[in-house]
């Protein structure tokens, strides 16, 4: 997908660098990385271990600070010259960002509905409304029939859909995924990526995924390669991404 006309990027990263340590022990994890991701786009970050993928994802997720550079999220400058522009990063994450991980990390003592509702509860939503929203999301992701199941009773694909529902609970427009399909077989991996594409389109969201999973490369609009902390020019994925299943 080309950059949408007249659209502003949901994620704008401008010359962001990150180093660890000083002097002879200094490691440059990111070197002046610039990247724009627009609404309705699904992009991948590729690269060998130590190339800076997870570091970049954690900076976009406002989990890790940068050494320098500027970042705008959903039209707000949240990082300028390596300094955070908001004091409450936890609130920023709740408002703007959803996270999906390789392992679903569902709370084992809560059923599927409450695993989603707990995120809304943390944001101050009363439990009744939170559970209603959770049920709607589980239905949307076609796993509503498992809403009372405990995580141990869910299949890998079902658990990942519950994790996606949790990531969407607060209606974020920026979704960050760290190896979201690594624990799934080929069929389930493609289903999950088709769901993410559907979400990007229907909710005008931007999705950034770190992945090594070659079987889903054709599900991305752009693939960015990180090498030694530097971002290569993007390559476009398949011109014809798989059709998103309806319903």
Task: Tell me whether residue 4 is in a domain.
Answer: no
In a domain, 119, yes or no: yes
Q: Does the pLDDT value for residue 9 go beyond 90?
A: yes
Per DSSP, which regions of the chain are E strands? 11-20, 27-37, 42-46, 68-73, 76-80, 83-84, 97-101, 174-178, 206-210, 222-227, 230-231, 235-236
Domain range for 113: 11-236
Domain annotation covers residue 18? yes
Give me the number of domains the chain comprises: 1
Asked if the structure places residue 172 within a domain, the reply is: yes
**Confidence (pTM):** 0.82
Q: What is the pLDDT of residue 56?
A: 94
pLDDT at 241: 41
Query: Residue 41: what pLDDT?
Result: 94
Per-residue pLDDT averaged across 14-33, rounded? 90
pLDDT reported for residue 243: 39
Which tens digit of pLDDT belongs to each residue from 50-83? Answer: 788 889 999 999 999 999 999 999 999 999 998 9
The verdict on residue 64 lying in a domain is yes
Question: What CATH number is given to the structural domain containing 187?
Answer: 3.40.50.300
The model's pLDDT over 80-130, given as tens digits with 9 standing for 90+, comes to: 998 999 888 888 888 889 888 877 789 999 999 999 999 888 888 899 999
Does 243 fall in a domain? no
């Amino acid at each position: 997908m080309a950059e949408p006309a007249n659209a502003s990027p949901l994620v704008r990263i401008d010359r962001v660098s990150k180093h660890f340590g000083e002097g002879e022990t200094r490691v440059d994890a990111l070197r002046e990385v610039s990247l724009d991701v627009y609404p309705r786009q699904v992009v991948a970050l590729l690269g060998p271990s130590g190339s800076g993928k997870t570091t970049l994802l954690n900076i976009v997720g406002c989990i890790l600070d940068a050494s320098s550079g500027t970042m705008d999220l959903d039209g707000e400058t949240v990082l300028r010259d390596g300094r955070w522009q908001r004091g409450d990063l936890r609130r920023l994450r709740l408002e703007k960002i959803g996270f999906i991980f390789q392992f679903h990390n569902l709370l084992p003592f809560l059923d599927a509905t409450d695993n989603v509702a707990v995120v809304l509860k943390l944001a101050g939503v009363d439990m009744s409304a939170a559970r209603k929203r959770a049920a709607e999301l589980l239905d949307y992701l076609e796993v509503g029939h498992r809403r009372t199941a405990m995580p141990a009773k869910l299949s890998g694909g079902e658990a990942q859909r519950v994790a996606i529902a949790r990531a969407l609970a607060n209606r974020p427009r920026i979704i960050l995924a760290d190896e979201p399909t690594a624990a799934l077989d080929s069929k389930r991996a493609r289903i999950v990526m088709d769901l993410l594409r559907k979400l990007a389109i229907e909710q005008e969201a931007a999705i950034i995924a770190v992945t090594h999973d070659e079987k889903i490369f054709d599900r991305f609009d752009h693939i960015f390669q990180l090498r030694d902390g530097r971002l290569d020019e993007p390559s476009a994925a398949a011109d014809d991404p798989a059709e998103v299943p309806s319903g």
